[in-house]
Chain A
Amino acid sequence: MIYVTDGSFEGILTAIFEAYEKKEDPESIVSQGFYQISLDSAVKEITTDQEKSRRVYNTVVCKMSKQAIETMYKAWLSEYREIGTALYKYIKMGLKLGPQILSYLQNPDVSLVNGLADKVSFEVHRFMGILRFKKLANGLYYARIEPDNNITMLIAGHFKDRFSDQPWIIHDAKRNIFVLYDTNQVIFINEDIMIDTENDEDRAFEELWKKYFKAISIEDRRNPRLQKQYLPRRYWRNLTEMQ
């Protein structure tokens, strides 16, 4: 049996609920859009259900711990193709082991989910550093990012705390997600907003930053390989100092 979900976290949790309720033990839980049609397996469409997903969520928190559900959610943000199946196997193991699942690092199912969650946490930390705001003519600060993982939700809180008196927009250009902070609350918007990013006044500070970036490097220690190890090329596009 193959379960097909809408790909959302709640959708996957709903599928897991169905699997236990119907005692079906599906071989995989996949997302609409990309799954291989199989001649041998029956396919079942899962409709996301908030109540069912909430019950699975609570079971994980009670039986396995709050940290386990956070790990699962972070792993989901990695947008790994087979995340549905991975989370299902993780829960199966977790219901046997309880909170000990967090330490069962040698198990392939656990190590897969942990690995994905670690990757997401790493990128969250990275973007606290490499996100760049541009001050627009209307006083709004605008940042364009293209992270590997869907991390916008996880970084918004940090920038709200840091720049509480400063209205800003973070735009994930890869997923077309906008997060807006109006010095009061954070709002997520999933549709296009037109933004005029040209602002000549801001260019003076960009030039100062670029000048600083060049001046602080020691020529006798030049090491582009090391630089790229820390700051992979794919991120350079949205970095002021690399333009």
Chain B
Amino acid sequence: MHLLEKLHILADSAKYDVSCSSSGSGRSGKKGQLGNAAMAGICHSWSDDGRCISLLKVLFTNYCIYDCKYCVNRVTNDIKRASFTPDELCELTLEFYRRNYIEGLFLSSAVIKSPDYTMELIITTLKKLRYEHRFNGYIHVKSIPGADLNLIYQAGLLADRMSINIELPSVESLKLLAPQKDHQTIIKPMSFVSHQIQGANELTIYRKKQMFVPAGQTTQLIVGASRDSDLTILRLTQDLYSRFKLKRVYYSAYVPVNNDKNLPAVNTSPPLLREHRIYQADWLLRFYGFSADELLDENHSSFDTKIDPKCDWALRNLDKFPVEINRAPLETLLRVPGIGYKMAERIVRARRIAPLSFEDLKRMRVVMKRAKYFITCKGAYYGDVDIDSGNLYSLLSEKTDPKIVEGQISMFD
């Protein structure tokens, strides 16, 4: 098979993995090697769906022994199949890298023959890249569920980032939709990698750094293939961040690719708005000091479609507002709808020099559309209605954009 066709098949099969970032490793170039790694990550392009392209994201093969009901590559699907050779993958990675198309390689795979066999193919490829071709750029590698921990360890020594996808947010959904996978085959390697990363960090205090997954571990959850609620997803996320110190949890709005009585029908639009809300909440957990139980509870187990999770929280906690912009501590500013992390920091810096007026905030490019209802500046309130008037929900609701109904939303707003 021609390389062009292989690339087509194996990129097409990898596209539902949404992780794209190339961040978390800062490494300068070395003599005699190709490449470096930028701490913040670099996006190289944006595909027609508006998602960023940073790494060459492909499967090693899409031949699979499993029959997971949600997956396009399940063994019972009649689709075109292909496998790369390690040399083909090296050539593509290096030639793309040298032209600055990509930050590096994201290598995943369906399970061919056995998890161990697949993992060995991946390791062979990474070894060639790192040792034979002296490639010093970014590598993200999947650990294959069920592979021997020793193989996972070897891969971790070669990669910047590792991930293993949980995909289904509860044990019940996993039993229903991926009966051949046991959730222990996912949790065990995740816990193993998490311990190895911490171990490697401790060792660096004593001797020369041995790199083990320096950019950390991530995972992905599918949204909308199973009946799990937003609350279930968010609690799991919180657990993953605190127990396994994951760098990111990604969410993928399920695109129905197979007919099955336990799945949404093919042609159902992917739940993009729901995915968007969960991402917003994920940021609130990681950077804004919120906990899952503040945002959702048993009586309120899914996010509002009209307002974002922070606004939603604020409207249920109006007694905490308005806050004075010149006095509120950083952690309180972070809870004001419309004030992001960067802005909150700027406000804290600037008010040390002189107190801030409403006009000052505008000049600092704080978006006032939502914030004005929740703050005072030097004691004055600038919202056009009173905070207790009961009108805030409708004023803060996002207009029903026809695009949202179609399932297309902007990341900004």
Contact = CB atoms under 8 A, between A and B. Distances in A.
Given A208-B92, A222-B48, A216 B14 contact: yes
Interface residues of A, number: 55
A134 B36 CA distance: 20
A67 B357 CA distance: 27
B99 A205 contact: yes
Interface stretch (B52-60, B155-163, B286-294): B52-60
Nearest to A126: B43
Give the size category of B's interface with A. Answer: 35 or more
Contacts of B96: 205, 208-209, 212
A218 B8 CA distance: 13
Contact of A227 (B3, B36, B49, B356): B49
A224 B51 CA distance: 10
Contacts of A133: 98-100
Nearest to B252: A218
Q: Which of A125, A130, A160, A208 has the most chain B CB atoms inside 10 A of its CB? A: A208
B16 interface: yes
A231 B54 CA distance: 13
A128 B350 CA distance: 31
Tell which of A209, A212, A219, A231 has the most Cβ of chain B within 10 Å: A212
A206 to B, nearest CB: 8
A228 to B, nearest CB: 8
A189 to B, nearest CB: 21
Contacts of A208: 3-4, 7, 92, 95-96
Interface in B43-102: 43-54, 56-57, 92, 95-96, 98-101
Main secondary structure of the interface of A (DSSP, over half): helix
B53 to A, nearest CB: 6
A209 B101 contact: yes
A106 interface: yes
Interface string B1-45: 001100110011011100000000000110111111010101111
A147 to B, nearest CB: 15
A20 interface: no
A166 interface: yes
Given A108-B363, A132-B99, A132-B100, A216 B353 contact: no
18 contacts: A103-B352, A106-B353, A106-B354, A106-B361, A106-B364, A132-B101, A135-B98, A162-B36, A163-B35, A166-B98, A211-B4, A211-B8, A215-B11, A216-B53, A220-B255, A221-B49, A221-B255, A227-B47
Given A133-B98, A216-B47, 13 more contacts: A106-B361, A129-B42, A129-B44, A135-B98, A160-B29, A211-B7, A217-B47, A217-B49, A218-B49, A221-B51, A222-B408, A226-B49, A229-B411
